[in-house]
Amino acid sequence: MLWNQGLAEELGWEGSPASHPEQLQALAGNQPLPSSQPVATVYAGHQFGQYNPQLGDGRATLLGEWLTPSGDRFDVQLKGAGPTAYSRGGDGRSPIGPVIREYVVSEAMHALGVPTSRALAAVSTGEPVVRNRIEPGAILTRVASSHLRIGTIQYFAMTRGGDEVGTLVDYAVSRHFADHIARGDLPANNAAVTLLDGVCAHFARLVSHWQVLGFVHGVLNTDNALLCGQTIDYGPCAFMDHFDPQACFSSIDRQGRYAWPNQPGIMHWNLAVLAECLLPLIDDDEQRSKETAQQLIDQFPARFHAHHQQWLAAKLGLDRITEADGALIQRFHDIMAAERLDMTLAFRWLTEIAGDSLDDSPLPELFAAPASLIDWSGEWQDRRALNRGEADAITQAMRATNPTVIPRNHLVQRAIDLAEQGQLEWIDALVERSAAPFEWRPGDEEWARPPSEDERVTRTFCGT
Ligand code: AMP
Ligand code: MG
């Protein structure tokens, strides 16, 4: 079993499954927690652009909502605990591989500052799960702000309609956007408008963060897009090692629909699907409703761009990004692509030279800057000389946005291989190291280095 004590403390969870057998029974899906009434929630969704009127939850069981001592509300869900009313003939179970992937990557994403569902526990069931081969089964305990998806709204809009969509929208707004309304960040007069505007803001920020980290989600179906703006469903997801502007890892994504460069456009598309479901609630007049919805979704590209520029400015040690900086930034990306430079380490190399710390870090052993990058860095330093504001704060922002350690595919793969053999110590160490992704630590060569040729993982599988 993997147990996330840090998250347990944030939730105000008392005890642990190691010392409380009834907790272990609950996290293994054998008996509910006291006061829990497990349910499976229903949703629909567009999978690779095709509408499916009923998708899930086929292998997830909501144990209930959890209120933290400070009053924050979370869903606690078991993934892989067995069939539900929506399993559509599936077994409702999960092999240990996908459970480990989700545990490791979602916790690393959280440490990187990306809004995400989290992993409280991973429990092996001792039961085999039959896929292409027989694999050991496991259950993940997932914690999210909620599991309301675009696909949840789609199900009620397309299959149930009427007042039920309105009730759901009111609920989603009160659960996720009450604070934004109170702060005056979102309009309050129409819940559907509030929801669309709020989700648009969440997605723009979320996907901009994915992009600058080189994270490829892999299955951005509308059922995998949470209204609360957290990353969910760590199926065939992967981080780039060498910078590849067309990066796509998922074995089932043959057209590259969900490739790295397409993620902002796809989240914009997903938003349009949400808007379509909300049309009857936005305005009684169909034309006015469409105009309002269109205006809201049209904000997405500019919102995304603004966040993306902010991330790039921080990561490149620039006070801001002006139009004149566009060519410089493009050349950096071109060099990374042409030289197949490790994206994470290339950004970190800039961070170390900006802070005069290259000689004090293990980076020279991990990353050799080619002549083209060294040349480019001269122009970049000239541009940095024009920065206004506190130089220290700008360097600090670089350190806080350019990770040293990310959950690289070969690390995740090793974790999965070890878990299948019942070995968890190294996985604990990986999770622990990934919790401090912006610092250097002794022994970091193991965690920060790119994969060797034979470790490289180029295809990932969703593991359903
Ligand atoms: P996902 O790729 O995890 O987003 O899967 C899409 C949907 O397929 C999920 O919402 C589940 O309802 C369903 N599903 C995936 N795996 C299983 C399984 N082993 N048993 C039942 N349903 C499943
Ligand atoms: Mg899913």
d(CA 275, CA 215): 26
Q: What is the pLDDT of residue 87?
A: 96
Q: Which residues contact 290 (CB under 8 A, 6 or more apart)?
A: 279
Residue with the smallest CA separation from ligand 1 atom 10 is 56
Residue 99: closest CA among 351, 427, 448: 427
Residue with the smallest CA separation from ligand 1 atom 18 is 92
Q: Which residues contact 110 (CB under 8 A, 6 or more apart)?
A: 116, 118
d(CA 200, CA 229): 9
Instruction: Please give the distance, rounded to the nearest whole angstrom, from the Cα atom of residue 43 to the centre of ligand 2.
Output: 10
Q: Is the CB of 224 under 6 A from ligand 1?
A: yes
> What are the structural domain ranges in the chain?
2-144, 150-308, 316-401
Residue 42: closest CA among 52, 27, 30: 52
Q: How far is CA 102 from CA 109, 289, 418, in A?
A: 10, 39, 15
Radius of gyration of the chain (CA): 23
Q: Is the CB of 130 under 6 A from ligand 1?
A: no
Q: Is the CB of 58 under 6 A from ligand 1?
A: yes
Q: What is the pLDDT of residue 162?
A: 81
Q: Side chain identity at 402, as an amino acid letter?
A: N
With 0.95 as the threshold, say if the pTM is over it: yes
Q: Which DSSP string corresponds to 387-452?
A: --S-HHHHHHHHHHHS-S----HHHHHHHHHHHHTT--HHHHHHHHHHTSTTS--TTTHHHHSPPP
Provide the residue count of the chain: 464
Residue with the smallest CA separation from ligand 1 atom 16 is 464
Residue 319: closest CA among 369, 252, 394, 375: 394
Instruction: Please give the distance, rounded to the nearest whole angstrom, from the Cα atom of residue 427 to the centre of ligand 2.
Output: 24
Instruction: Please give the distance, rounded to the nearest whole angstrom, from the Cα atom of residue 421 to the centre of ligand 1.
Output: 25
d(CA 328, CA 412): 34
d(CA 262, CA 258): 6
- Please calculate the CA angle 293-296-298 and round it to the nearest 5 degrees: 105
**Mean pLDDT for back-to-back runs of 10 residues, the chain (464 residues):** 98 96 95 92 97 96 96 97 94 97 98 98 96 95 98 97 92 96 92 98 98 98 98 97 98 96 98 98 97 98 98 98 97 98 98 96 97 98 97 97 98 97 97 98 96 94 74
Instruction: Please give the distance, rounded to the nearest whole angstrom, from the Cα atom of residue 366 to the centre of ligand 1.
Output: 39
Cα 161 off chain centre by: 30
Q: Is the CB of 80 under 6 A from ligand 1?
A: no
Instruction: Please give the distance, rounded to the nearest whole angstrom, from the Cα atom of residue 66 to the centre of ligand 2.
Output: 21
Q: What is the pLDDT of residue 461?
A: 84
d(CA 462, CA 292): 37
d(CA 215, CA 207): 9
Residue with the smallest CA separation from ligand 1 atom 9 is 56
Q: Which residues are catalytic?
A: 223
Q: Is the CB of 56 under 6 A from ligand 1?
A: yes
Specify the ligand 1 atom closest to the Cα of 464.
16
